[in-house]
Amino acid sequence: DTGVSQDPRHKITKRGQNVTFRCDPISEHNRLYWYRQTLGQGPEFLTYFQNEAQLEKSRLLSDRFSAERPKGSFSTLEIQRTEQGDSAMYLCASSLDRALGPAFFGQGTRLTVV
Amino acid sequence: DAKTTQPPSMDCAEGRAANLPCNHSTISGNEYVYWYRQIHSQGPQYIIHGLKNNETNEMASLIITEDRKSSTLILPHATLRDTAVYYCIVRVAGGGADGLTFGKGTHLIIQP
């Protein structure tokens, strides 16, 4: 499968714990995006990378959230001291270049904070 | 905020063409119209995009009005598997903010 891969697909954690999600983009896609989606809403943009550089962060990305893409390939999204309000689907997408083509999404990681 | 307006829901009979409208009256000259869909509990799926000319691919056709203030996504022969939320998004193709801004989309229900 050469699509965007996310791991894990589901995560249940206790409030206050840290969690980390991984995204493997489509090979050779230099842009990588993170989104969050809550029930009944469309996905909301969090941040994006061009290669290893994080170029944009949404105001939704609080200090407890951090994303990395150390070698310009896979990316991780970490949430520290999780809160119940962090419960959502976390989606990753990748694209070759904004002007040239669309972003393709993974299946997401469903986070439940109890 | 999303720069598009879509009806919250639509029904279509299986085998018929599904025509999904989208208003984007404030679209700029360098903004493209993108369509995605999301089937329950899955990630959004890219469908098609265009700037000002009509576009067609294996999934759908995109008709953009001459003034570019609205567009229609056409699924020519809808099947039950086309039941999903369809998002119309305008996206600039040069510098500045890069993230897609999703609205609430249109929930398309294909009836057997």
Amino acid type, B53: N
Beta bridge pairs of residue A104: A94
β-strands B9-13, B106-111 pairing: parallel
Residue A90, C-beta contacts closer than 8 angstroms, at least 6 positions apart: A6, A21, A34, A35, A36, A37, A77, A108, A109, A111
CB contact B103 to A (< 8 Å): yes
Among the partner-chain residues B42, B101, B104, the one whose CB lies closest to the CB of A45 is B101
Burial of A71 (C-beta count, 10 Å sphere; 0-12/13-18/19+): exposed
**Could you tell me what percent of chain B has a pLDDT over 70?**
93
CA B44 from chain centre, in angstroms, equals 12
CA dist., res. A69 & res. A75, Å (int): 4
Give pLDDT, residue B96. Answer: 47
Q: If you ran DSSP here, which 8-state letter would residue B82 be given?
A: G
Q: What is the mean pLDDT of residues B26-37?
A: 91
pLDDT in tens, chain A (114 residues): 579 999 999 999 999 999 999 999 999 899 999 999 999 899 999 999 999 999 888 888 899 999 999 988 999 999 999 999 999 999 999 988 756 578 899 999 999 999
Q: If you ran DSSP here, which 8-state letter would residue B17 be given?
A: P
Q: Among the listed ranges A26-30, B66-70, B72-76, which one has the minimum average pLDDT value?
A: A26-30
CB contact B2 to A (< 8 Å): yes
Beta bridge pairs of residue B22: B71
Q: What is the mean pLDDT of residues B55-67?
A: 96
pLDDT (tens digit, 9 = 90+) per residue, B3-20?
Answer: 899 999 999 999 999 999
| pLDDT of residue B65 exceeding 70 | yes
Chain B 36-95, residues with CB within 8 Å of chain A CB atoms? 36, 42-46, 49, 85, 87, 91, 93-94
Residue A62 token pair: 């609080």
| pLDDT of residue B26 exceeding 50 | yes
Buried b (16+ CB within 10 A) or exposed e, A81-90: ebeeebbbbb
| pLDDT of residue B93 exceeding 70 | no
Which residue of chain B comes nearest to A47, CA vs CA? B99
Contacts of B105 in chain A (CB under 8 A): 42
